[in-house]
Amino acid sequence: MSAHPLDHFYSPSQRVRYRDAMLRRYSCRAFSGVLDAPTLAALNYAAARVCLPGTRIVITDCTDALFFGVPLVGRIHGMKKCACIIASSRLENPRLLSGISGEAFILEAAAMNVGTCWVSGSYRRKQVQVELKDDEFVAAVTPLGMPLKSPGQVIRHRKPLSQICLSAPDQWPLWAYRAAEAVRIAPSAVNLQPWRLSYSQRALRLLGSRRDSLDLGIAMLHIDAAAGDGRRTWQWGEGKCIAHLLYEENT
């Protein structure tokens, strides 16, 4: 298979920032006020430097009318800006790569205390104000704004590690355990957490039933950020193994 585009893409300083931001990020659906000019400039800068080749992120104006409500969740409201996560249909696994790039951007936003929310279905596509090339499509959007709630006011519902790991993660190396915990807190569509993890022979494997998935791209970014800065190589997998990270601590 082709080389994995995530391999060595993000710098050590980016990965440290993402590790910290994972703990603060949550799906924000209620916003207060508008983003000031310095924050918006910083978001645009982040959007320009987190995207894997063939993906891009465009920040644009929006209103509450862009999003519609979802039962038991409610509508997204109060923001004035959104980011469109865009990919080329010519890519191999374009949605997965969009998940990687989009989650990197969302964690950059979380590091600035900007609220976000992954939205891939419950928005009105005709109201997205962005120009696309012939081979491009919008994989997802996220509202951008200052959140009404602080991270400490939000309760996350996540599966225990025992439900997403195929063997006991407390028997894994510390780097793999930390990566598994980072995947456990990763966002996914309707919080289904459609992934499994296994470890053997210095490799952490990400498994799923649908390879070209935003959710699996998000999980992959969380693994990459949490694993640490040892010697690392990402490789595509086969069958239900989407990809695996070969890792060895620096000595």
Two tokens at 125? 């596509």
55, pLDDT greater than 80: yes
**Choice among 8-17, 65-74, 80-89, 162-171 with the minimum mean pLDDT:** 65-74
Q: Are residues 203 and 122 in the same domain?
A: no
* In-domain check, residue 42: yes
pTM: 0.95
At 202-215, the pLDDT tens digits run 999 999 999 999 99
Please report, for the domain that includes residue 216, its CATH number.
3.40.109.30
Could you tell me if 23 and 55 lie in one domain? yes
Tokens describing residue 24: 């603060």
Tokens (6 digits) for 5: 């585009």
* CB-based contact 234:245 (threshold 8 Å): yes
pLDDT band at 157 (very low <50, low <70, confident <90, very high): confident
Q: Is residue 1 part of a domain?
A: no
What pLDDT score was predicted for residue 33?
Answer: 73
Residues 78 and 187 in one domain: no
Of 2, 1, 18, the residue nearest 10 (C-alpha): 18
Tell whether 190 is covered by a domain.
Answer: yes
For residue 61, the domain's CATH number is 3.40.109.10
Question: What confidence score (pLDDT) does residue 1 get?
Answer: 56
The tokens for 163 are 């439900």
**What is the per-residue pLDDT for 146?**
94
- Segment 68-96, tens digit of pLDDT: 877 767 789 999 999 999 999 999 999 99
Question: Residue 105: pLDDT band by 50, 70, 90 thresholds?
Answer: very high
My answer on whether 42 and 127 are in the same domain is yes
How many independent structural domains does the chain possess? Answer: 2
161 contacts 181 by C-beta, under 8 angstroms: yes
Domain holding 243, by residue range, is 161-248
Mean pLDDT of the chain: 93
Question: What is the reported pLDDT for 213?
Answer: 96
Say whether both 181 and 146 belong to one domain: no
* Residue 4 lies inside a defined structural domain of this protein: no
Backbone angles phi, psi at 87, to 5 degrees: -140, 160
Per-residue confidence (pLDDT) for residue 154, from 0 to 100: 58
More confident residue, 201 or 177: 177
Q: Residue 7: inside a domain, yes or no?
A: no
Q: Residue 169: inside a domain, yes or no?
A: yes
Q: Write the single-letter amino acid at 58.
A: V
